[in-house]
Structure 1
Amino acid sequence: MDDNGNQVIIDEGGSGTIKISEDVVKIIAGLAATEVEGVSGMSGGLAGGIAEKLGHKNMSKGVKAEVGEKEATIDIHVIVEYGCRIQEVAYQIQTKVRNAVESMTGLKVLSVNVNVQGVSFGPDNKEEDGKIK
């Protein structure tokens, strides 16, 4: 009757248990990553693109998380704005995601792997016909 397939039990105390879904960890990580200056968006692949076209906003788009009983490993796939230093953006993503997940869930984040999937030139860098200036 107790399904722990996609949940992590954080604490088993005298007053009960606390269960956090793996999806919650992915949402926290995704939101923290999008708050970093220089991140244009998340790269979620084909399934994420189809869901967005159908009007479903996926807050965990571009995030994969492996969550154990007390630790987590997170992979983030991002698109970086043109002109930003990728190393600095990636380091800020790692720091912000680690801090957000650890403070909100109590899990120890072992690693945050940042995968840059593309560079966004933004709407200001294109002419009317869609070519880059």
Structure 2
Amino acid sequence: MPEESKIILNDDQSLGTIEIAPRVLEIIAGYAASEVDGVSKMYGSFANSVSELLGRSDHRRGVKLVKDSDSLTIDVDVYVEYGVSVPKVAGQIQKRIKQQVTLMTNLVVTEVNVHVKGVVALQEEKQVDPDNLFSEDSEDDGGNEEA
């Protein structure tokens, strides 16, 4: 990996340097975003989806990092749950990512851009009556009520 792709964490280098790979920051941001209530899942590529099906979780999914000389910009792509306030959830994502990256690395995050890629509706769980498997409504037993 090229030397310039690493991010130096410490200013005082009397004992040596502390470097962090950008992918570590992407993982921190991905965890932080996915923990916010209202976030259904992170947006990712086809390769991310295949890896997830194979049991390999990629927490960098949906996160892109841009590091300039003195600024750190993080872009996050998410799906939100149906019925939530999108601006409120996006604001919580921004706050949580900035807080976690600063807390864990002492880096100053200048921007957190949230891109909402879609809305996911929650599916209702249907209860199946084992005595009446083919009934559309488990409450209705076809008029065979006993008096």
TM-score (norm 2): 0.78
Q: Against the structure 1 CA distance between its residues 15 and 55, is the aligned structure 2 distance closer, same or farther, given a 3 Å change threshold?
A: same
Q: Does 1:107 align with 2:95?
A: no
2:3 matched residue in structure 1: 4
Which structure has greater strand proportion?
1
SS at match of 1:80: strand
Match of 1:6, as an amino acid?
S
Match of 1:101, as an amino acid?
V
Q: Does 1:55 align with 2:55?
A: yes
Match of 2:83, as an amino acid?
G
CA–CA distance in structure 2, aligned partners of residues 24 and 68 of structure 1: 17
CA–CA distance in structure 2, aligned partners of residues 57 and 121 of structure 1: 23
CA–CA distance in structure 2, aligned partners of residues 24 and 69 of structure 1: 18
Structure 1 range deviating more: 62-71 or 25-34: 62-71
2:91 matched residue in structure 1: 91
SS at match of 2:66: strand
1:26 matched residue in structure 2: 26
Structure 1 range deviating more: 3-12 or 23-32: 3-12
Match of 2:32, as an amino acid?
A
Structure 2 residues not aligned, in runs of 5+: 127-147
SS at match of 1:123: coil
2:135 matched residue in structure 1: none
Report if the CA contact (8 A) 1:9-1:18 is conserved.
yes
Q: C-alpha root-mean-square deviation of aligned residues, in Å?
A: 2.0
How far 1:123 moved relative to its partner?
Answer: 2.4
Larger-gyration structure (1/2): 2
Match of 1:8, as an amino acid?
I
Structure 1 range deviating more: 115-124 or 64-73: 64-73
2:14 matched residue in structure 1: 14
CA–CA distance in structure 2, aligned partners of residues 125 and 115 of structure 1: 29
Structure 1 residues not aligned, in runs of 5+: 127-133
1:130 matched residue in structure 2: none
TM-score (norm 1): 0.86
Alpha-carbon deviations, 1:2-40, whole Å to 9, x = none? 842431112251101000110010000000001111001
**Which gives a bigger RCO, structure 1 or 2 (Cα 8 Å, sep 6+)?**
1
**Alignment length (residue pairs):** 126
